[in-house]
Structure 1
Amino acid sequence: MEIENEDALPTSNQALDPDLQKKHLSMLERLSNRHQSRLENSLALRSDSNSSSSSSSSAFLSRFSDSKRSIESQIAQSRLNHPTELSKLRSHLDNISASISDLEKLVAESSYFLPSYEVRSSLKTVSDLKQALEILNSELIPRKKFSFKNKASKKDPITEPTETTLEVSNSVSISHERLSLPVRDSPGFKNKKGEILVKDFKGSELGEFTLLDLDSCEVRLIGSVRALFMHKLRNCSVYAGPVTGSILIEEAEDCVFVMASHQIRIHNVKMSDLYLRVRSRPIIEDCNGVRFAPYCLSYEGVEEDLRDASLDEETGNWANVDDFRWLRAVQSPNWSVLLENERAEMVNIANLGGGTEGN
C-alpha cells in the first residue's frame, strides 16, 4: 500500500529510533485495518443487494408458476366440465381471463427487479395463456364470421347483438398472440371517422374497452378500466384515464396517446407521440418514429383514479423503452424522448367540450 504523506516514512536516522519505528508500524496497521474494513463493508452491501434481488426473483417465480399451473388447470378442466348455460359459461371464461390479467399485472409490477430475459419469458407465457383461452372460447362459444355490421338473423333473433362487434375467424389475419383476450363482446368505439368520442367509466363495471378502426377521431376515456385494446387507428388523439392492467396498441399512425397503465405493449405504430405513466417498461415492436413523454392528462377526480389504480407515483418508465426488434447495445433508432419544448401542456379533457357519449 502506498503512503501519500512522505513525512510519515522513516528516514535512515529515524529507523534507529525504536519509538519512531513503533509509531510508523502502528500507523501502517491502522491504514491497513481501515482499508480492510471498507472493503468488507462494500462486499457486504453488494451481497445484501444481490441476495435481496435473488430473493425477490425467487418469490416471483414461485408465485408466477403457481398461478400459471392454476390457469392451465382451469382451461383444461373447462373442456371436460363447463357450465351449459351461456351466461354462466361466459362468466366462467371471464374469470379465467381475469386471472390471466392478474398474472400479467404481477409481471408488470415485478419487472423492475427481474432480469430482462425473465420479463420476456413471463410475457411469452402470459401470451400463450391468452391464446389458449381464446381457442377455448372459440370451441365453447362458436363465432360468426368476421363482420363490422349488424346483420339481421332469421334463425336466432334472440342472440342478435345490439352493437357492432368484432368477430375473428380463422381466415382473418389478426394476431391471436397480441389480440388474444376475447374482444367480440367487448364494448368500445369501432369503425368511426372524424368524430369526438367520449366514455365515462365512473360507476361502471367494464373490464375491457376496445378502440377499433378509427380515422381522424378524438377519444376521451374518463375513469378507470382494466384493459384497453386499440387496433387500426389513423390520425387520432386518445386521452385515457388509468388502466389497472394492460394497454395494447396495434397498427396506428400519426396519432397522439395520453395514457396511464401498469403495462403497455405497442406494435406496428408509426410517427406517433405517447405521453405515458407506466409501472413497467413500455415494449415496442416493429415501430418507427415513435416519441415518448410523461403523462399529462387532467380531469376532475383523475388523481383519485390514479391512486386507486396504484399509478399515482411517477416511475420515469415512460423513457425506459424496450424495443424487442432491436437487440444491439446502442439506442434503438425506432423511438426517442420527445423534446420538452415540443411537448403538449397538461390536457384537461373536461374543458375540451363537444363529443358524443359512448355506450
Structure 2
Amino acid sequence: METEEEEERLSLPTSNQTLTDPTLHQKHQSMLARLSNRHQTRVDNSLARRSDSDSNSPSSASAFLSRFSDSKRSIEAHIVQSRLDHPTDPSEVKSHLDSISASISDLEKLVAESSFFLPSYEVRSSLKAVSDLRQSLDNLSSELIPKKKFAFKNKASKRDPATEPKQTTTEEKSDSVSTSHEKLGFQVRDSPGFRDKKGEILVENFKGSEIGEFTVSDLDSCEVKLIGSVRALFVHRLRNCRVYAGPVIGSVLIDEAEGCVFVMASHQIRIHNAKGCDFYLRVRSRPIIEDSSGVRFAPYCLSYEGVEEDLRDASLDEETGNWANVDDFRWLRAVQSPNWSLLPENERVRMVNILDLGGGIEGN
C-alpha cells in the first residue's frame, strides 16, 4: 500500500508542466517544501530518540558504577590510613574528618543526581554503601576524638536507687538519637541542633557558619526556621511541628514525625516512620519513604532574602518535579503506594517568607 508521502510524490507535476503552467509550478514548490519538512521532522525525532536512549543506556549506569566504586575505594582507603597515621592536633583531626565527610557527601550527591536512570536496587545498594561509609567515619571519629567522661570529685550521699527517679544525661540522649538513626545507616553524634523543646520558635542562620551537619530532635509543637545552607540535616521525633529549611547540599533524613509540615530543598530526602505529614520539597532525586502513611507532597515554597543564591550554590535552583515522584520502599506492587499522595492545590500554602514568621531562640 502506498504511503501518503509516496502518493504526493506520484502526484507531483512533471518538469515540463511546471515550466508552462505557473499554477502547477507553485503547487510543485509547495509539495516539495512539505516533503522536506516531513523528512527533517523524522531526522529530528530520530536524533531525539537516540539521545534519550543514550542517556538511559546501560553504559550510563556502568559509568556511574565505575565512578562510584572508585570514589568509595578512595574514601575507604583514607579512613584506613587515618587509623594508622593521623594528625595529633585536635583541630587538624577535626579538619581531616570533615574532609572525609565532605567526600562522602559528594558521593551521596552523585547517587542523587544519577538516580533518575539507575534501577531501584542500584539506588538502594549505593545508598547503603554511603551509609556504611558514614558509619565507618563515625567510628573513626569516636576513636580519634573520644567522648569526655563526666566525673564528680566529691562523693554524693548514698541514696536508694530503687526510690530515685532515673535522670537522663545529655550524653545518654545523644546516644539515644544516634541509635535511632543507626537503623537507617546514619549516626548523629554531638552535632549542633535543636533538641528537647516544646511550643517554641527556633531559628538558626547558617550564613557565614561552618556547621556541616544539623540535628532537629525531640520537638513538640515547635516552629523551626533554618536560613542558609547546611551539608546534612537530621530530623528525629517531631510532633505537630513546622520546619522551614533553606537548601541542604547533601541529604535530609527524617525519622519519626507526626502531624508536621516540612518545607525543604535537598539533593536527597529519606523519610522513615512519618504519619500525617505534609512535605513541600525541591529535590534532585526521588524522595524515599519507608514505614510511613498519610504523607502528602507539594512543591517547595520557601522565601527569604538570598534564598535564590543559596539554591544556586547548592545546585538546587532548577525545579525537577521530583517532589511528585515518591518511592515507597515498603510498597513493591506495580500500582502507586496508598501511603502517599499529592497535596491538593486548594490545600497548599503559597510562598512562605521565613523572615515573616517571627523571631525565636537561636540554635546551639
Do both proteins adopt the same fold according to a TM-score greater than 0.5, normalized to the shorter chain? yes
CA distance in 2, matches of 1:180, 1:4: 62
- 199, 214, 228: which one aligns with 1:209: 214
- Residue 179 of structure 1: how far off its partner (Å): 5.7
CA distance in 1, matches of 2:225, 2:284: 22
CA distance in 1, matches of 2:91, 2:244: 33
- CA, structure 1 residues 43+164, in 2 after alignment: closer, same or farther (shift >3 Å)? same
- 345, 348, 353: which one aligns with 1:348: 353
Match of 1:126, as an amino acid? V
SS in 2 for 1:257: strand
Match of 1:232, as an amino acid? R
Give TM-score scaled by structure 1 length. Answer: 0.80
Matched, 1:246 2:230: no
Aligned to 2:16: none
Matched, 1:227 2:227: no
CA distance in 2, matches of 1:3, 1:352: 66
SS in 1 for 2:182: coil
- CA, structure 1 residues 270+80, in 2 after alignment: closer, same or farther (shift >3 Å)? same
Match of 2:272, as an amino acid? H
Could you tell which deviates more after superposition, 297-306 or 38-47?
38-47
- Residue 103 of structure 1: how far off its partner (Å): 0.4
Aligned to 1:88: 92
Match of 1:88, as an amino acid? E
Unaligned residue ranges in structure 2 (runs of 5+): 9-37, 155-168
- CA, structure 1 residues 137+41, in 2 after alignment: closer, same or farther (shift >3 Å)? same
Could you tell which deviates more after superposition, 199-208 or 54-63?
54-63
Aligned to 2:344: 339
Aligned to 2:293: 288
CA distance in 2, matches of 1:40, 1:223: 46
- Residue 184 of structure 1: how far off its partner (Å): 2.4
CA distance in 1, matches of 2:178, 2:309: 41
RMSD: 3.0
SS in 2 for 1:83: coil
- 271, 274, 278: which one aligns with 1:266: 271
Could you tell which deviates more after superposition, 297-306 or 64-73?
297-306
Matched, 1:72 2:76: yes
SS in 2 for 1:58: helix
Matched, 1:132 2:139: no
Matched, 1:60 2:76: no
Matched, 1:176 2:187: no
Give TM-score scaled by structure 2 length. Answer: 0.79
SS in 2 for 1:66: helix
Q: What's the % identity of the aligned pairs?
A: 73
Aligned to 1:114: 118
Instruction: Tell me the alpha carbon deviations over residues 248-279 of structure 1, each in whole angstroms, 9 at most, x when there is no partner.
Output: 10011110000111110101111100000111
Aligned to 2:312: 307
- Residue 38 of structure 1: how far off its partner (Å): 10
Match of 2:257, as an amino acid? A
- Residue 139 of structure 1: how far off its partner (Å): 3.3
Match of 2:270, as an amino acid? R
Matched, 1:167 2:170: no
The answer as to whether partners of 1:128 and 1:177 remain within 8 angstroms in 2 is: no
Could you tell which deviates more after superposition, 194-203 or 80-89?
80-89
The answer as to whether partners of 2:131 and 2:185 remain within 8 angstroms in 1 is: no
SS in 2 for 1:168: helix
CA distance in 2, matches of 1:172, 1:352: 31
Matched, 1:51 2:58: no
The answer as to whether partners of 1:127 and 1:177 remain within 8 angstroms in 2 is: no
CA distance in 2, matches of 1:187, 1:260: 20
Aligned to 1:27: none
- Residue 37 of structure 1: how far off its partner (Å): 12
- CA, structure 1 residues 340+36, in 2 after alignment: closer, same or farther (shift >3 Å)? closer
The answer as to whether partners of 2:276 and 2:294 remain within 8 angstroms in 1 is: yes
Instruction: Tell me the alpha carbon deviations over residues 121-141 of structure 1, each in whole angstroms, 9 at most, x when there is no partner.
Output: 211111121122222233333
SS in 1 for 2:56: helix
- Residue 104 of structure 1: how far off its partner (Å): 0.2
User: What is the number of residues matched between the two proteins?
Assistant: 318
- Residue 85 of structure 1: how far off its partner (Å): 3.1
Aligned to 1:218: 223
Aligned to 1:25: none
Match of 1:86, as an amino acid? P
- Residue 152 of structure 1: how far off its partner (Å): 7.0
Match of 2:180, as an amino acid? I
Unaligned residue ranges in structure 1 (runs of 5+): 9-34, 146-150, 156-162
Kindly report which structure 2 residues correspond to 1:131-150, keeping only aligned pairs within 5 A, or say none: 131-143=135-147
